[in-house]
Structure 1
Amino acid sequence: MITTQHPSTKQDILQYLLKEDRATAQALAETLAISPQAIRRHLKDLEEEGAIEYKSVSTGMGRPQHIYQLSPKGRDRFPNRYGEFAVSLLDTLAETVGQEQVSNILQKQWERKAIEYRDRIGKGSLEQRVAKLVEMRQSEGYMAEWYLLEPTEINQNATEQFILKEHNCAISNVAESFPSVCGHELEMFAAVLPDCTVERTHWINDGEHQCGYLIKAR
C-alpha cells in the first residue's frame, strides 16, 4: 500500500506566509484548521529556528498583536536558483562583451549599492551607522553581526573600532565565479563609511568560515 506523505504543519505555515506575506496566529489557526495553542507552539519553534519573525502591532485597548512573516532564512527554505542564474548571466556577458566590461558593470553595481546604503544609513554616530549597515545586510540574507572593540590598556587613546562579521555569503555563487565582487564589496563598505578605514580580516573565499571586517574611525 502506498501512502502519501503530507507536508508538516510547520511547512504549511511557511508556505502560507510565503504566499500571503504576513499573518496573525489566529489567522493561521483558522486557515490551517488547528487550535490556536498548537499554532503558537509551531510558531515558537519556527521563531527559534530563525525561519520567521514578527512585529507587535497595537490594536487598541488590548494586548499588542503579533504579525508573523518569513525571515530571509525562512525564504531560503524554498528552492531557488537565482545564484545559478546570476552566474550564467555573467558568464554570457563575459562571452559577449568581454571580461573587462563585466568587471566594469560589477563595479558600477557596487557603486550604486554604496549610494543606496549611504542614503539609508544617514548621518548618525559611527556606532549607529555600523548597526544600521548590519541591519540592512541582515535583511538581504546575510547572517551579519557587529561589536565594538574596547580600547586596550596599552592604547587607551585608540579611535573607535568595530568588527563586522558575516557568517554566510548571500551571493556565494557569484563570489566563487567572480571573486572581484568581494573587492568591490570592500570598496562599498569604505564608501558607505567615508570617515573610516575598512580592512578585511577574514574571507570565505579563502576557505575561512566567515567574512570579517575591521572598521576604524579616522
Structure 2
Amino acid sequence: MKTETGTRQAQLMTLLLDSESGLSIDELAAKLGISRNAVKQHLVVLEKRQQVFEAHLSNTGGRPARIYALTQDGIQQFPKQYAWFCNLLLDELAADLYPDAFERLMWNMGVKLATSLLPQFTGLTAIQKQQALVELMQNLGYHAELRHEDGQAVIRASHCVYHDLALKHPALCQFDKALMATLLNAPVAQTHCMARKDCDCRFNLGKD
C-alpha cells in the first residue's frame, strides 16, 4: 500500500505527465491542493531520484517561475505493456515462420546482442568469461549463479526474465543459448528449463 507521501508524489508525477510544457510550483500546489512548501519537498525527493527536473524558467512578465517536467526515468515509472506487445509480435512471427526458422531467428537475435557486448569479454580467460556472463545475467534479472557439478561448469538461473512468453514460445530459449555461446566462444547445452516445468534453467558450459 502506498503511503500518503508516495501517493502525493505519484499524483504530482501524473500531473507532469499530462502537461505538455511542464508545471510551476504554484500550478502544482493549486492542482494538488497543498502548500508550495509541500510541493517543493516532493520535488526535492523526486529530483534526487532523477525522475523530475527543472525544465526552464517561465517568462510571463512577472517574476520568472521554475517549470518542472518528468525525466525519461520518471516517464518509465508509469505502466508499460511490453509483455503484451511482445506476445502479439511473437504470435505473428510464429504464425508466419516454420518452427526451425523461428528458432533460427531467436538464435540470430541472441548472437546480435552478444556481438555488441563482446568488447566487455575481450582478453578474458575462459573462467573470467563465465564469471562476467553470470554478472551480466544478474544485471538482466536472471538471478544466475556459476556452479561446478562433477567437473562441469554450469550456470543456474532461478528466474526467467520472459517466463510467460517462453511458456508459449519455447524457441525463445535459443536466444539465451546463442547469447551465452557467443560471449563464451564455446558450446552451451541447456539441461533444465522453467518453461518445461523444471524448477530452474541450467546451462552446461563448453558442452554441446
Question: When the two structures are superposed, what TM-score results if normalisation uses the length of structure 2?
Answer: 0.56
> In structure 2, how many angstroms separate the alpha carbons of the residues matched to 1:186 and 1:83?
21
> In structure 1, how many angstroms separate the alpha carbons of the residues matched to 2:179 and 2:44?
44
Amino acid at match of 1:127: I
CA contact 1:148–1:162 (8 Å) conserved in 2: yes
Match of 1:199 among 185, 189, 204: 189
> In structure 2, how many angstroms separate the alpha carbons of the residues matched to 1:198 and 1:192?
11
**Where in structure 1 are there 5+ consecutive unaligned residues?**
14-27, 33-76, 152-160
Structure showing the higher helix proportion among its residues: 2
CA contact 1:134–1:146 (8 Å) conserved in 2: yes
> In structure 2, how many angstroms separate the alpha carbons of the residues matched to 1:31 and 1:104?
49
CA offset digits 1:75-126 (Å, max 9, x no partner): xx9854322220111223444x444554443232122023134332223112
The offset of 1:130, in angstroms, is 0.7
CA contact 2:190–2:201 (8 Å) conserved in 1: yes
Once the two structures are superposed, the pairs formed by residues 1-218 of structure 1 within 5 Å of their partners are 6-7=2-3, 31=44, 80-95=80-95, 97-99=96-98, 102-149=102-149, 161-194=152-185, 196-216=186-206
CA contact 1:123–1:129 (8 Å) conserved in 2: no
**Where in structure 2 are there 5+ consecutive unaligned residues?**
10-40, 46-76
The offset of 1:211, in angstroms, is 0.2
Amino acid at match of 2:202: G
> In structure 1, how many angstroms separate the alpha carbons of the residues matched to 2:104 and 2:187?
24
Corresponding position of 2:38: none
CA contact 2:107–2:174 (8 Å) conserved in 1: no
Across the two proteins, how many residue pairs are aligned to each other?
A: 151
Q: What SS does the aligned partner of 2:205 have?
A: strand
Evaluate the alpha carbon distance shift between residue 198 and residue 11 of structure 1 in structure 2; reply closer, same or farther with a 3 A threshold.
Answer: farther
Question: When the two structures are superposed, what TM-score results if normalisation uses the length of structure 1?
Answer: 0.54
Amino acid at match of 2:203: Y
Q: What SS does the aligned partner of 1:139 have?
A: helix
> In structure 2, how many angstroms separate the alpha carbons of the residues matched to 1:211 and 1:123?
28
CA contact 1:143–1:166 (8 Å) conserved in 2: yes
CA contact 2:187–2:205 (8 Å) conserved in 1: yes
CA contact 1:90–1:102 (8 Å) conserved in 2: no
Q: What SS does the aligned partner of 1:110 have?
A: helix
